[in-house]
Amino acid sequence: MDLSNYLLTGQPYYHPVGNEVALFEAAYAARLPMMLKGPTGCGKTRFIEHMAWRLGKPLITVACHEDMTASDLVGRFLLDAEGTVWHDGPLTLSVRHGAICYLDEIVEARQDTTVVIHPLTDDRRILPLEKKNELVRAHPDFQIVISYNPGYQSVIKDLKESTKQRFAALDFSYPEASIETEIVAHESGIAHEDAAVLVRIAGRTRNLKGHGLDEGASTRMLVQAGRLMSRSIPLREACEVAIVLPISDDPDMRRALTETIAACV
Ligand SMILES: Nc1ncnc2c1ncn2[C@@H]1O[C@H](COP(=O)(O)OP(=O)(O)OP(=O)(O)O)[C@@H](O)[C@H]1O
Ligand SMILES: [Mg+2]
Protein backbone atom coordinates (compact mmCIF):
# COMPACT_ATOMS: atom_id res chain seq x y z
CA MET A 1 0.00 0.00 0.00
CA ASP A 2 1.35 3.34 -1.05
CA LEU A 3 0.55 6.32 1.14
CA SER A 4 2.32 8.84 -1.09
CA ASN A 5 -1.03 10.55 -1.73
CA TYR A 6 -0.99 11.52 1.91
CA LEU A 7 2.47 13.12 1.83
CA LEU A 8 2.45 16.92 1.84
CA THR A 9 4.22 18.15 -1.24
CA GLY A 10 4.91 21.80 -0.44
CA GLN A 11 5.86 23.24 2.93
CA PRO A 12 2.70 24.37 4.73
CA TYR A 13 3.43 27.86 6.10
CA TYR A 14 3.50 27.81 9.88
CA HIS A 15 4.79 30.58 12.12
CA PRO A 16 5.83 29.10 15.50
CA VAL A 17 4.52 30.86 18.59
CA GLY A 18 6.74 29.10 21.15
CA ASN A 19 8.80 25.91 21.19
CA GLU A 20 5.95 23.74 19.87
CA VAL A 21 7.98 22.56 16.87
CA ALA A 22 10.81 21.15 19.01
CA LEU A 23 8.34 19.70 21.50
CA PHE A 24 6.39 17.95 18.76
CA GLU A 25 9.58 16.61 17.18
CA ALA A 26 10.57 15.11 20.52
CA ALA A 27 7.05 13.71 20.99
CA TYR A 28 7.18 12.16 17.54
CA ALA A 29 10.61 10.66 18.21
CA ALA A 30 9.12 9.05 21.32
CA ARG A 31 5.92 8.22 19.38
CA LEU A 32 3.82 9.82 22.11
CA PRO A 33 0.14 10.21 21.30
CA MET A 34 -0.43 13.97 21.10
CA MET A 35 -3.38 16.21 21.80
CA LEU A 36 -3.52 19.70 20.26
CA LYS A 37 -5.73 21.90 22.42
CA GLY A 38 -7.00 25.35 21.58
CA PRO A 39 -9.88 27.45 20.30
CA THR A 40 -11.13 27.36 16.73
CA GLY A 41 -8.98 28.92 14.02
CA CYS A 42 -5.78 29.25 16.04
CA GLY A 43 -3.51 27.08 13.89
CA LYS A 44 -3.85 23.49 15.09
CA THR A 45 -4.55 21.97 11.70
CA ARG A 46 -1.90 24.09 10.02
CA PHE A 47 0.60 23.02 12.68
CA ILE A 48 0.05 19.29 12.18
CA GLU A 49 0.31 19.70 8.41
CA HIS A 50 3.55 21.58 8.86
CA MET A 51 4.91 18.94 11.24
CA ALA A 52 3.95 16.05 8.95
CA TRP A 53 5.80 17.85 6.16
CA ARG A 54 8.86 18.50 8.39
CA LEU A 55 8.98 14.86 9.49
CA GLY A 56 8.36 13.65 5.93
CA LYS A 57 5.47 11.43 7.07
CA PRO A 58 2.09 10.92 5.44
CA LEU A 59 -0.81 12.59 7.25
CA ILE A 60 -4.25 10.98 7.33
CA THR A 61 -6.93 13.27 8.75
CA VAL A 62 -10.31 12.15 10.03
CA ALA A 63 -13.02 14.71 10.83
CA CYS A 64 -14.79 13.12 13.79
CA HIS A 65 -18.54 13.42 14.20
CA GLU A 66 -21.34 12.09 16.32
CA ASP A 67 -22.43 9.35 13.92
CA MET A 68 -18.93 8.04 13.41
CA THR A 69 -18.63 4.38 14.35
CA ALA A 70 -15.60 2.31 15.22
CA SER A 71 -15.94 0.70 11.75
CA ASP A 72 -15.57 4.12 10.11
CA LEU A 73 -12.15 4.29 11.77
CA VAL A 74 -10.91 0.71 11.54
CA GLY A 75 -12.62 -0.58 8.40
CA ARG A 76 -15.33 -3.00 7.31
CA PHE A 77 -16.18 -5.83 4.95
CA LEU A 78 -17.78 -4.58 1.74
CA LEU A 79 -19.48 -6.55 -0.95
CA ASP A 80 -17.99 -6.44 -4.44
CA ALA A 81 -17.88 -8.65 -7.54
CA GLU A 82 -15.53 -11.14 -5.85
CA GLY A 83 -17.57 -11.41 -2.67
CA THR A 84 -16.90 -9.69 0.64
CA VAL A 85 -13.62 -7.80 0.80
CA TRP A 86 -12.11 -6.10 3.80
CA HIS A 87 -11.40 -2.37 3.44
CA ASP A 88 -9.05 -0.75 5.95
CA GLY A 89 -10.44 2.43 7.49
CA PRO A 90 -8.24 5.53 7.87
CA LEU A 91 -6.96 4.53 11.30
CA THR A 92 -5.96 1.03 10.19
CA LEU A 93 -4.29 2.43 7.08
CA SER A 94 -2.19 4.73 9.25
CA VAL A 95 -1.35 1.98 11.72
CA ARG A 96 -0.32 -0.55 9.07
CA HIS A 97 1.68 1.72 6.85
CA GLY A 98 3.12 4.30 9.24
CA ALA A 99 1.23 7.57 8.86
CA ILE A 100 0.41 10.28 11.35
CA CYS A 101 -3.32 9.86 11.99
CA TYR A 102 -4.99 13.16 12.94
CA LEU A 103 -8.41 12.78 14.54
CA ASP A 104 -9.87 16.26 14.27
CA GLU A 105 -12.47 17.29 16.89
CA ILE A 106 -12.20 13.96 18.69
CA VAL A 107 -14.84 14.88 21.30
CA GLU A 108 -17.51 14.93 18.61
CA ALA A 109 -17.16 11.14 18.36
CA ARG A 110 -19.04 8.97 20.82
CA GLN A 111 -17.03 7.47 23.65
CA ASP A 112 -17.68 3.90 22.48
CA THR A 113 -15.98 4.90 19.22
CA THR A 114 -12.96 6.59 20.78
CA VAL A 115 -12.11 3.57 22.91
CA VAL A 116 -10.82 1.78 19.79
CA ILE A 117 -7.72 3.95 20.05
CA HIS A 118 -6.92 2.77 23.57
CA PRO A 119 -4.71 -0.26 22.74
CA LEU A 120 -2.89 1.93 20.21
CA THR A 121 -2.18 4.69 22.65
CA ASP A 122 -0.52 2.74 25.40
CA ASP A 123 2.71 0.81 25.13
CA ARG A 124 1.00 -2.08 23.31
CA ARG A 125 0.64 -0.07 20.08
CA ILE A 126 -1.74 -2.62 18.62
CA LEU A 127 -5.07 -2.38 16.85
CA PRO A 128 -7.35 -5.40 17.17
CA LEU A 129 -9.67 -5.79 14.17
CA GLU A 130 -12.33 -7.87 15.83
CA LYS A 131 -14.51 -8.39 12.78
CA LYS A 132 -11.55 -9.62 10.80
CA ASN A 133 -9.95 -11.52 13.65
CA GLU A 134 -6.65 -9.77 13.09
CA LEU A 135 -4.25 -7.97 15.40
CA VAL A 136 -2.37 -5.18 13.64
CA ARG A 137 0.90 -4.10 15.23
CA ALA A 138 1.59 -0.43 14.65
CA HIS A 139 4.22 0.44 12.04
CA PRO A 140 7.20 2.14 13.75
CA ASP A 141 6.36 5.47 12.04
CA PHE A 142 2.73 5.52 13.20
CA GLN A 143 1.63 8.31 15.52
CA ILE A 144 -1.82 9.39 16.65
CA VAL A 145 -2.67 13.07 17.10
CA ILE A 146 -6.03 14.45 18.19
CA SER A 147 -7.44 17.96 18.35
CA TYR A 148 -9.61 19.26 21.10
CA ASN A 149 -11.35 22.61 21.58
CA PRO A 150 -11.54 23.06 25.35
CA GLY A 151 -14.58 24.91 26.60
CA TYR A 152 -16.99 24.16 23.75
CA GLN A 153 -17.92 20.73 24.94
CA SER A 154 -20.68 19.82 27.30
CA VAL A 155 -19.86 17.33 30.04
CA ILE A 156 -21.44 14.48 28.09
CA LYS A 157 -19.18 15.26 25.17
CA ASP A 158 -15.94 15.40 27.11
CA LEU A 159 -13.25 12.77 26.63
CA LYS A 160 -13.14 9.86 29.05
CA GLU A 161 -10.45 10.29 31.66
CA SER A 162 -8.85 7.04 30.47
CA THR A 163 -8.64 8.49 26.93
CA LYS A 164 -7.30 11.88 28.04
CA GLN A 165 -4.59 10.41 30.18
CA ARG A 166 -3.04 8.53 27.27
CA PHE A 167 -2.01 11.77 25.55
CA ALA A 168 0.57 14.47 25.98
CA ALA A 169 -0.76 17.88 25.01
CA LEU A 170 0.26 21.13 23.38
CA ASP A 171 -1.77 24.21 24.18
CA PHE A 172 -2.53 26.59 21.34
CA SER A 173 -3.96 30.07 21.68
CA TYR A 174 -4.10 33.10 19.42
CA PRO A 175 -0.53 34.27 18.80
CA GLU A 176 0.81 37.48 20.31
CA ALA A 177 0.07 40.58 18.21
CA SER A 178 3.35 40.86 16.29
CA ILE A 179 3.28 37.19 15.23
CA GLU A 180 -0.42 37.26 14.38
CA THR A 181 0.16 40.36 12.24
CA GLU A 182 2.89 38.52 10.39
CA ILE A 183 0.60 35.50 9.83
CA VAL A 184 -2.37 37.57 8.64
CA ALA A 185 -0.19 39.59 6.25
CA HIS A 186 1.45 36.43 4.88
CA GLU A 187 -1.77 34.45 4.48
CA SER A 188 -3.88 37.19 2.94
CA GLY A 189 -1.30 39.24 1.08
CA ILE A 190 -2.27 42.56 2.67
CA ALA A 191 0.20 45.16 3.99
CA HIS A 192 1.58 44.82 7.51
CA GLU A 193 -0.14 48.01 8.71
CA ASP A 194 -3.52 46.71 7.59
CA ALA A 195 -2.89 43.33 9.19
CA ALA A 196 -1.95 45.12 12.42
CA VAL A 197 -5.35 46.89 12.43
CA LEU A 198 -7.14 43.54 12.00
CA VAL A 199 -5.16 42.09 14.90
CA ARG A 200 -6.08 45.09 17.07
CA ILE A 201 -9.74 44.52 16.22
CA ALA A 202 -9.41 40.84 17.09
CA GLY A 203 -7.95 41.76 20.48
CA ARG A 204 -11.04 43.86 21.27
CA THR A 205 -13.42 41.07 20.22
CA ARG A 206 -11.50 38.56 22.34
CA ASN A 207 -12.08 40.79 25.37
CA LEU A 208 -15.82 40.33 24.75
CA LYS A 209 -15.54 36.58 25.26
CA GLY A 210 -18.00 35.72 28.01
CA HIS A 211 -19.60 39.18 27.71
CA GLY A 212 -21.96 38.41 24.86
CA LEU A 213 -19.57 36.50 22.60
CA ASP A 214 -18.77 32.81 22.98
CA GLU A 215 -15.40 33.34 21.34
CA GLY A 216 -13.51 36.32 19.91
CA ALA A 217 -12.45 36.57 16.27
CA SER A 218 -9.99 33.80 15.39
CA THR A 219 -6.81 34.13 13.37
CA ARG A 220 -8.74 32.36 10.59
CA MET A 221 -11.36 35.14 10.58
CA LEU A 222 -8.65 37.79 10.31
CA VAL A 223 -7.08 35.97 7.38
CA GLN A 224 -10.49 35.87 5.70
CA ALA A 225 -11.07 39.60 6.27
CA GLY A 226 -7.58 40.19 4.85
CA ARG A 227 -8.36 38.12 1.78
CA LEU A 228 -11.37 40.33 1.05
CA MET A 229 -9.21 43.42 1.54
CA SER A 230 -6.63 42.09 -0.89
CA ARG A 231 -9.49 42.05 -3.42
CA SER A 232 -10.14 45.76 -2.86
CA ILE A 233 -12.90 45.51 -0.26
CA PRO A 234 -12.43 48.34 2.28
CA LEU A 235 -11.39 47.29 5.78
CA ARG A 236 -14.67 48.10 7.54
CA GLU A 237 -16.77 46.22 5.02
CA ALA A 238 -14.36 43.28 5.02
CA CYS A 239 -14.61 43.10 8.81
CA GLU A 240 -18.38 43.32 8.69
CA VAL A 241 -18.60 40.37 6.30
CA ALA A 242 -15.77 38.23 7.67
CA ILE A 243 -16.08 38.96 11.40
CA VAL A 244 -19.17 40.81 12.68
CA LEU A 245 -21.92 38.94 10.82
CA PRO A 246 -20.61 35.41 11.32
CA ILE A 247 -19.65 35.89 14.96
CA SER A 248 -22.97 37.22 16.32
CA ASP A 249 -26.68 37.22 15.54
CA ASP A 250 -27.54 39.78 18.19
CA PRO A 251 -28.20 43.27 16.73
CA ASP A 252 -26.81 45.06 19.81
CA MET A 253 -23.64 42.99 19.80
CA ARG A 254 -23.23 43.55 16.06
CA ARG A 255 -23.57 47.29 16.56
CA ALA A 256 -21.02 47.22 19.39
CA LEU A 257 -18.59 45.26 17.22
CA THR A 258 -19.03 47.65 14.28
CA GLU A 259 -18.30 50.59 16.59
CA THR A 260 -15.25 48.82 17.98
CA ILE A 261 -13.97 48.29 14.46
CA ALA A 262 -14.52 51.93 13.56
CA ALA A 263 -12.55 52.94 16.66
CA CYS A 264 -9.58 50.74 15.67
CA VAL A 265 -9.19 52.06 12.12
N1 LIG B 1 0.88 29.86 13.63
C2 LIG B 1 0.32 29.96 12.42
N3 LIG B 1 1.08 29.96 11.31
C4 LIG B 1 0.52 30.08 10.09
N5 LIG B 1 -0.80 30.23 9.87
C6 LIG B 1 -1.61 30.25 10.93
C7 LIG B 1 -1.11 30.11 12.24
N8 LIG B 1 -2.15 30.19 13.10
C9 LIG B 1 -3.25 30.35 12.35
N10 LIG B 1 -2.94 30.40 11.04
C11 LIG B 1 -3.89 30.69 9.97
O12 LIG B 1 -5.19 30.51 10.51
C13 LIG B 1 -5.94 29.59 9.73
C14 LIG B 1 -6.75 28.73 10.63
O15 LIG B 1 -5.92 27.82 11.30
P16 LIG B 1 -6.28 26.26 11.45
O17 LIG B 1 -7.16 25.84 10.37
O18 LIG B 1 -5.01 25.54 11.67
O19 LIG B 1 -7.12 26.36 12.82
P20 LIG B 1 -7.56 25.21 13.81
O21 LIG B 1 -6.91 25.52 15.12
O22 LIG B 1 -7.30 23.88 13.20
O23 LIG B 1 -9.13 25.50 13.95
P24 LIG B 1 -10.36 24.46 14.14
O25 LIG B 1 -10.30 24.07 15.60
O26 LIG B 1 -11.55 25.29 13.83
O27 LIG B 1 -10.15 23.33 13.20
C28 LIG B 1 -4.93 28.83 8.89
O29 LIG B 1 -5.48 28.45 7.67
C30 LIG B 1 -3.82 29.84 8.72
O31 LIG B 1 -4.14 30.70 7.63
MG1 LIG C 1 -8.62 22.40 12.42
Q: Where residue 26 sits, what CATH number does that domain have?
A: 3.40.50.300
| d(CA 41, ligand 2 centre) in Å | 7
Residue type, 230: S
Q: What is the pLDDT of residues 15-55, one digit of tens each?
A: 999 999 999 999 999 999 999 999 999 999 999 999 999 99
Instruction: Ligand 1 pocket test: pick from 34, 45, 149 the residue with the most ligand atoms within 8 Å of its Cβ.
Output: 45
Q: Average the pLDDT over 100-105 and give the result.
A: 96
Q: Is the pLDDT of residue 152 over 70?
A: no
Same domain, 200 and 152: no
Cα–Cα distance for residue pair 263/265, rounded to 1 Å: 6
Residue 186 CB–ligand 1 contact under 6 Å: no
Please tell me whether residues 21 and 147 are part of one structural domain.
yes
Last residue of a domain, one of 171, 201, 219: 171
> Which of 113, 138, 171 delimits the end of a domain?
171
142 and 99 within one domain: yes
| Pocket flag, ligand 1, residue 45 (CB < 6 Å) | yes
- Same structural domain, 80 and 208: no
Give the range of the structural domain holding residue 189, as residue numbers without chain letter.
177-264
Model confidence at 155: pLDDT above 80: no
> SS3 of 231, please?
coil
Q: 181 and 248 share a domain?
A: yes
Q: How far apart are CA 208 and CA 202, in angstroms?
A: 10
What average pLDDT is seen over the chain? Answer: 95
Kindly report the protein residue whose alpha carbon is nearest to atom 6 of ligand 1: 43
Q: What is the pLDDT of residue 57?
A: 98
- Taking only the tens place, the pLDDT of each residue in 103-142 is 999 989 988 899 999 999 999 999 999 999 999 999 999 9
Q: What is the pLDDT of residue 186?
A: 98
Question: Model confidence over 181-229: pLDDT tens digits?
Answer: 999 999 999 999 999 999 999 999 999 998 999 899 999 999 999 999 9
CA distance 98 to 70: 20
Do 164 and 83 share a domain, yes or no? yes
